[in-house]
Amino acid sequence: MAEVSPMAELLGQAIYHFEAVKPLLPTYAHLLVSAIFPIFIGAHASLSKPSSAAKPSKRDDNGDEQDTEDDEEEEEETRGPVQKMEGLEPSDALMFPLTAGLTLGGLYLVIKWLEDPAILNKILSFYFSQMGLFFAIAFLQDALHVVRSFVFPRRYAYGGKVWKVRQSERIFAVVAQGSDGSEARRSPLPGVFSCIPLPESVSQGIWAVRQLAYRRVQFHAHVRGVVDVKCMIGLLDVASGLIALSAVGYFAFVTKPWWLTNFLGFCFCYGALQFMSPSTFWTGTLLLGSLFFYDIYFVFFTPLMVTVATKLDVPIKLLFPRPPAAGQAPDAVSLAMLGLGDIVIPGMMIGLALRFDLFMYYKRKGEQKAQAEGAGNTSVKPTYQSATGAWGERFWARLSQQKPREPELAPPYSDARAFSKIYFIASVVGYCIGMIATLIAMQIANHAQPALLYLVPGVLISLWGTALVRGEVRDMWDFSDADEEENDDGAETETKNDVSSEKAKDHRSLLARLWSGDIKSLVVKEDGKKDGTTSEEKTVLAREDSSADEGKEEDLLFIRISLPRKPKKEKKPTEAAEQPSSEDGEAILASFPSGERDSEPPAKRRRRSPRNMNA
C-alpha cells in the first residue's frame, strides 16, 4: 500500500475541518458582521474637529428665510456625539484590568453563593435597563435620522444637476453657480422617483409628512427648585424614546430573546465608543496590551470568565443562533456568544484611527493652504467642515461628487465626509483577521478562546505597520485626541483663567474620577453643541428667557410646548427709520439706550419682548 504524502494528508485534514465547520459558516458570518457594525457606526459618530483644523466661523444671523432654514437643517444633521468624550490616561490602562478582574471575581462568588442566578439576573437587568434606555434613545435617534435622510434627502442628483429642497416653497431647486432658482421640480420624491407622476393630493401629503419629519418644537418643563429643562424635540425624538422604552421594558420585565439582547448590546457599544477613547495611540497600545494579558488569564487559567458569561442573562454579550452540537436534540436552542468587551476595547482604538485619518486630512489641507498663501513652513489651519451625518445625501448626490481639479482650501469641501481612511481600513482589516483567527482556534481546540489574544495583535500590528510603511510613525506617536480649547475673539482673561483652573481639576483619569465620585465633569456639555440644539433654536430659547424668567419664580410647575419662530432679517437703521412699525403694529426701536441693555447677548438685543416694550 502506497504511503500518503504529507501534502495529501494536510489537504485531507483541511477538507475534514471544512466539512465540520460548514454548518457553522452562517453563524460565524453573522458574528463577524455584528462585531464590525457597531464599531463602524460608533467610530463615524465620534468624529469631531481635530486639532489640525480651525473652528468654523459663526453663522451670521442676518439672512432670508431660506438661508435660515438651510442653516437649521445642516446644523441639526451634524449634531455632535451624545456627550463629551472622555480621554483615557495611562493610569486607566493599568486600572482597567484590576477593576474588571475584581468585578468578575465578585460576580463569580455571588453566582456560586446563590446557586440560582435568577435573582442576580433580575437585579442586573433592572440596572442595565436604566443605562440601556439612555443609550438606546441615542442609538435610535441617529438611526431614524439616517433613515430620514434616505427617504427625504435634502438634495439629490438627477439629470446631471443637483437639486436642493426648499421646504417652505415645497420644491427642489437647482444648485449651481449663476442659477436664479427658477428651474424647480415639485415632486417630493428624490432621484429617479421624482419622475413618477403623483396626484396633487398625494404630492401635498408627502410634502406635509416631510415637513413633519423635520419639524422640531420647543419643550420647556419647570418645577421650582427641582428641575428646569429646555430643549428642542421632534417627531423622531419622540418615536425613538417610545421605541427605546418599549424595548428596554420588554427586556427587563417580559423575556430576553437573543435579538433584543443584541439590540441593547449594539446600543451599549455605540454609546461607549462615543463616550470614552484613549487620547493617544501609545495610551491605547498600553490599554490593549494590559487587557490582552487579562483576557488570557481569566479564560485559560480560571473558570470566572466562562461562568459569568454563560450564567448571566444581561446585555453584556451578543448572541448568535447556531446548529445544535453533537448529542443535543435537533430542536434544542444553541447560541454562540461574543462579549461586548471584544468589540468595545479594539473598537476604541479603531475609532481613534478614524479620527487620526481626519487629523491627517486637515493637516495635508493646511500644508496645501500654506503653500498657496506663500506662508512657507508656517502652520495654517483650514476651516473645519462637519464629517458626520448626511448619509442619505451622500447616496442620492454621489453621482455629482466629482473630484475637483484644484485643491479646495476653504469650505465647502467636496470630500469632507469622504476623506481618505487609510488607518481606519487597516485597523478594521486587522480586526477581521483577528476575529477569523479566533473562530478557527475555537473550532480546532473546541474550547472557549480569549478573543483579545488574537484581536489585539491584529489591530495593533495593522495600525503601527501601516504607519511604518507610510513613514508616519512620528505623526501617530505625537497625535493627541484630547480637547483643544480655542477661545473666541474678545474673550475675557478672567474667563480663560477660570476655564483653565476647572480643566486642571478634571485632568485625572476616568476611573480616578469615578472612584472619587466626581462625575460632574462627565456630563458637562461643550459649547452647547452636544444637546442637539442648533444656533437658531438657541436664539429662540434666548429670546423667551427675558419673558419667562419674570414669571418663573411665581410658577411652581409648568410644561410648555411651542413652535419656534423664524428669526427675521435685521433691518438697517435707515430702513428701520423708514418703516418704524412691525407687522403686528408694534414699534421696533432702531437703537437701545446705553447701560444694562448693551450688555445683553445679541440674540436678546435684536428685538425686544412685547412684555418689556415699555421698559
Q: What is the DSSP letter of 528?
A: T
What does the pLDDT read at residue 313? Answer: 80
SS (H, E, C) 110-177: HHHHHCCCHHHHHHHHHHHHHHHHHHHHHHHHHHHHHHHHHHCCCEEEECCEEEEEECCCCEEEECCC
Query: Under the phi-then-psi rule, with left for phi > 0, alpha for psi from -120 to 50, and beta for the rest, what region is 582?
Result: beta
Q: Residue 589 above 80 pLDDT?
A: no
Q: Residue 106 above 60 pLDDT?
A: yes
Structure-block grid coordinates of residue 408:
479646495
- The whole-angstrom separation of Cα 336 and Cα 338 is 7
Q: Taking residues 192-196, what's their average pLDDT?
A: 88
What does the pLDDT read at residue 366? Answer: 85
> What are the residue boundaries of the structural domains of the chain, listed by start?
12-149+219-482+511-522
Confidence of residue 518 (pLDDT cuts 50, 70, 90): low
Cell 437647482, residue located: 174
pLDDT in tens, 380-394: 888 888 888 788 888
What does the pLDDT read at residue 69? Answer: 54
Closest listed residue to residue 345, CA positions, set 240, 497, 263, 459: 459
Give percent of the chain with pLDDT exceeding 70.
71
Query: Are 287 and 100 a contacting pair, CB within 8 Å?
Result: no
Strands 216-223 and 184-185: unpaired
CA dihedral over 352, 358, 359, 361, signed as positive or negative: positive
- The whole-angstrom separation of Cα 130 and Cα 110 is 22
pLDDT in tens, 436-495: 999 999 888 888 889 999 999 999 999 999 999 999 999 999 998 875 544 444 344 444
What does the pLDDT read at residue 176? Answer: 67
pLDDT in tens, 133-191: 999 999 999 999 999 999 999 988 888 888 899 988 898 988 765 565 568 888 999 98
Strands 155-158 and 86-88: unpaired
pTM of the model: 0.78
Highest mean pLDDT among 18-27, 56-65, 193-202, 545-554 belongs to 193-202
Q: Residue 224 above 60 pLDDT?
A: yes
- The whole-angstrom separation of Cα 500 and Cα 506 is 10
Closest listed residue to residue 218, CA positions, set 534, 597, 4, 612: 534
Greatest Cα pair distance in the chain: 112
| Contact residues for 536 (Cβ-Cβ < 8 A; gap 6+) | 61, 68, 71, 72, 75, 564, 567
Q: Taking residues 405-423, what's their average pLDDT?
A: 79
Closest listed residue to residue 286, CA positions, set 355, 330, 201, 349: 349
**What are the angstrom distances between the C-alpha of 532 and each of 76, 149, 237, 520, 600?**
7, 17, 10, 20, 24
| Contact residues for 230 (Cβ-Cβ < 8 A; gap 6+) | 218, 219, 220, 541
- Mean pLDDT of the chain, nearest integer: 77
pLDDT in tens, 267-310: 999 999 998 889 899 999 999 999 999 999 988 888 888 888 88
Query: Are 349 and 284 a contacting pair, CB within 8 Å?
Result: yes
What does the pLDDT read at residue 405? Answer: 66
